[in-house]
Structure 1
Amino acid sequence: MIKTYLKDLIYQVNGCAIEVHKHLGPGLLESVYHNCLKKELAIRGFNFQTELTIPVNYKG
């Protein structure tokens, strides 16, 4: 069941990204695509978080 759920989730998120790219085309800043993808995910009812902070241990 989890494998099917994840496969469907990936399909839907990819669909959101494709929709954004179809409307905007190539060549814009990442931040533009990021904001539009957030809107597209919200339109489709996704519950998500963005720009999360993760700890990184670099060179000790």
Structure 2
Amino acid sequence: MMELAHKDITEQIIGAAFEVHQILGYGFLERVYQRAMQVELQSRGLKSEIETAIKVVYKNTIVGEYRADLLVEDVVLVEIKVAKEYNSNDEPQ
């Protein structure tokens, strides 16, 4: 099995997601879960920023800007999805 990059941070993010889901359940807009995740991650001592601008570089040229739902510890991008059921079509994002 492949080792995750930034495994310790990733495990904290997954734990935070379960905690947010356990407390809030399903039914809110993505923005509510995004903010709740930020609160939970910060309560765990992790730096977490909402929609920080990230420059996209292609062959040494800036070709755009990306705003992830959360940037954790400046190394892990988190995309929040709100759906009643898991959808594998969301994985590429």
Normalised by the shorter chain, which TM-score bucket? Answer: 0.7 to 0.9
* Paired residues, number: 55
Structure 1 moving runs of 4+ over 3 Å: none
Ranges in structure 2 where 5+ consecutive residues have no aligned partner: 56-63, 66-93
Corresponding position of 2:36:
36
**For the residues of structure 2 that align with 1:25 and 1:48, how far apart are their CA atoms?**
22
Percent identity between matched residues is 38
C-alpha displacement of 1:50:
1.8
C-alpha displacement of 1:4:
7.0
Corresponding position of 1:52:
52
Q: What RMSD over aligned residues (CA atoms) do the two structures have, in Å?
A: 2.1
Q: Which has the higher contact order (CA 8 A, sep 6+)?
A: 1
Which structure has more strand as a fraction of its residues?
2
**For the residues of structure 2 that align with 1:24 and 1:31, how far apart are their CA atoms?**
13
**For the residues of structure 2 that align with 1:28 and 1:49, how far apart are their CA atoms?**
20
Ranges in structure 1 where 5+ consecutive residues have no aligned partner: none
Corresponding position of 1:22:
22
Corresponding position of 2:9:
9
**For the residues of structure 2 that align with 1:41 and 1:5, how far apart are their CA atoms?**
18
Which structure has more helix as a fraction of its residues?
1
